[in-house]
Amino acid sequence: MVRRRRQILRVVTALTIAFLSPGLPRALTDEETFREFRFNFVNPGARALGMGGAFAAVADDATAAQANPAGLQYVLTPEFFLEYRSIDQDTTIDRSNLGSLSVDQSTGARNLPFLGLTSVSNPDTTSDPSFVSFVLPMRRTVAGRRIRIAGSRQVVLSEDRALSSGGNATEARFAFPSFPNTVNGSTVEAYSVDTLVSGGRSADIVYWNVGGSIDLTRDFSAGLTLTYATLDLKSDTLTEVIDPLQLFLDPTHPRFPVQPSMDVYSTSADGKDSDVTFTFGIHLHPDSVFATGVSPWRFGAVYRRGARFSVPEETFLNGAPNLMFDTTIVVPDRYAISASYRSPVHWLFSLEIERVEYTDLLKGFRTGVNYLTGGQVAGGAFGINANQSVEFTINDGIIPRGGLEYVFWPGGKGSRRLALWAGYYRTPDDRIRMLHFNSDDSSVNAAYMEAFRGGEPADHVTGGVGFEFGPSSLRLAGEGSSEGRQFVGTYTYRFGTGR
């Protein structure tokens, strides 16, 4: 019986630690505030969003500076582009209960041990001028080849997250058979200890771009965008052990023969960093194959190298400095190939396959920052021994994208042009999960593997509408998925005659 109780305690402890450790994508350390990072991997522009992001072969305006620089060749006159994007992500509240705090009112019997977990990730709705670009077609050519030059600014990430929402907070509550009963109003409950986590994170990643394209042949072009990337990060967490009866501090308590050395633990990251990266693209438009001199087919391929950042972070025990290190933030590298077909009059169809190197997220991944996983509590007797091996993994992912465009002229050809878009894409499981935990107890191993299991793919449905009037165009698009919603509005102005 004693052995069984010890095994149950170890499982409960493991689950508690797992709750306070990384379980969601893009965690950079195992702090609660870094559980989620939502990079926007859809190409800029309402037209791109409306078509599900299947745009590497379609991009023919100022957004090509990021979607596929080789597509800048289609910009025939100087062009200004402005995008405004609003992202509304759903608040995630996960609860899990093992056992119960209820007490039989007549006998005082309890169904213990008990573990209650609540994880809250509450993002603010963000609205930003997320992309601005200007493209200048060069009047002079290089060896008879046309040149396009573009400058742009893109917001890759803009997030504010909190670990609470309304009356819900990130916390872990637990109780064991040796805990006393307490009276909560008219209800008798088992006494529990509450580990409450508060804090939040603000992060902004901005790309400053200079790019260009060149026609290498009549049917083939290449483009390159150089990027100066900046990060501004601020993150703070505070973990408090709420134990009014101080059972953790009682040296005679049978469950805690080695006592915790703290009851307040905090982390703080505040810094800026920059990196230089690039986007390279090629575009095939086999015009020479067709008698009309214009191909209905276009093909594109693009490689986007993600930025790498590092900011200083510090941990504190009961207000005293404890540990200093650098927190690494990596934007994953991405590859994409795309093909599109335009019908003679109204329709455009586009497909794209994108590969995302999610394994880049593990570069600089650090465990042991959370006070439990770092063995700060009771020298590891209650948490994870710092000398034990904890391994995490994640799979690179494939994102299929598809979109269509329908163009018509309400007043006949030559009048104002209207366009409708619809699209779809599917994001894979991109959660960091546990690969190995070094423990002799199979129950503890099983608990960890279950707590750090993978996530689920998400389906994204998109749509939009665009209006062209003279040298200007106005476009609106939106997206809905199980992860949230986003809306984009863009304005384009072309200096000179139309295309």
What local confidence, expressed as pLDDT, does residue 1 receive? 44
Q: What is the mean pLDDT of residues 428-436?
A: 76
Sign of CA dihedral 55, 59, 62, 68: positive
pLDDT of 442 > 70? The answer is: no
Q: What is the mean pLDDT of the chain?
A: 81
76 burial via Cβ count (<10 Å: 0-12, 13-18, 19+): middle
- Which residues have CB under 8 Å from 298's CB, separation 6+? 57, 58, 283, 284, 285, 339, 340, 342
In whole angstroms, give the CA distance from residue 173 to residue 101.
10
Q: How far apart are the first and last CA of the chain?
A: 82
User: Hey, how many other C-beta atoms are within 10 angstroms of the C-beta on 260?
Assistant: 20
Percentage, residues of the chain above pLDDT 90: 40
How does DSSP assign 212-228, residue by residue?
A: EEEESSSSEEEEEEEEE
Write down the pTM of the prediction: 0.84
User: Hey, how many other C-beta atoms are within 10 angstroms of the C-beta on 419?
Assistant: 19
The helix-helix angle for 442-451 and 2-19 (nearest 10°) equals: 20
3 state DSSP class of 456: coil
Pick the more confident residue, 174 or 296. 296
What local confidence, expressed as pLDDT, does residue 256 receive? 53
3 state DSSP class of 302: strand
What local confidence, expressed as pLDDT, does residue 296 receive? 94
In whole angstroms, give the CA distance from residue 205 to residue 39.
9
What local confidence, expressed as pLDDT, does residue 150 receive? 95
Instruction: Give the domain ranges of the chain.
Output: 2-90+125-159+201-238+262-494
Give 268-315 pLDDT, tens digit per residue: 999 999 999 999 999 999 988 888 888 999 999 999 999 999 999 998
pLDDT of 377 > 60? The answer is: no
Tell how far CA 348 is from the center of its chain: 30
Q: Cα separations (Å) of 163 from 91, 203, 248, 329, 484?
A: 10, 15, 25, 20, 18
Percentage, residues of the chain above pLDDT 70: 79
What local confidence, expressed as pLDDT, does residue 383 receive? 43
Tell how far CA 128 is from the center of its chain: 17
Pick the more confident residue, 144 or 254. 144
Backbone angles phi, psi at 163, to 5 degrees: -95, 20
How does DSSP assign 55-81, residue by residue?
A: -TTT--STTHHHH-GGGGGG--S-EEE
Q: What is the mean pLDDT of residues 117-139?
A: 87
**Confidence category of residue 220, pLDDT binned at 50, 70, 90:** very high
What local confidence, expressed as pLDDT, does residue 175 receive? 79
Radius of gyration of the chain (CA): 27
Give 64-118 pLDDT, tens digit per residue: 989 999 999 999 899 999 999 999 988 877 777 777 888 887 787 887 777 777 7
What local confidence, expressed as pLDDT, does residue 16 receive? 45
In whole angstroms, give the CA distance from residue 88 to residue 124.
7
Give 383-427 pLDDT, tens digit per residue: 444 455 667 778 899 999 999 999 998 877 666 889 999 999 999
How does DSSP assign 236-267, residue by residue?
A: EEEEEEE-TT-STT-TT-TT-SS--S-SEEEE
Pick the more confident residue, 259 or 284. 284
In whole angstroms, give the CA distance from residue 48 to residue 466.
11
- Which residues have CB under 8 Å from 170's CB, separation 6+? 32, 118, 119, 120, 163, 164, 196, 197, 198
**Confidence category of residue 27, pLDDT binned at 50, 70, 90:** very low
pLDDT of 473 > 90? The answer is: yes
**Confidence category of residue 498, pLDDT binned at 50, 70, 90:** very low
Burial pattern 228-245, b for ≥16 Cβ within 10 A else e, equals ebbbbbbbbbebebebee
**Confidence category of residue 41, pLDDT binned at 50, 70, 90:** confident
CATH number attached to the domain at 2-90+125-159+201-238+262-494: 2.40.160.60
157-171, 416-430, 481-495: the lowest-pLDDT one: 157-171
Pick from 303, 101, 280, 278: which is nearest to 189 by CA?
101
What local confidence, expressed as pLDDT, does residue 183 receive? 81
Pick from 258, 400, 287, 422: which is nearest to 347 by CA?
422
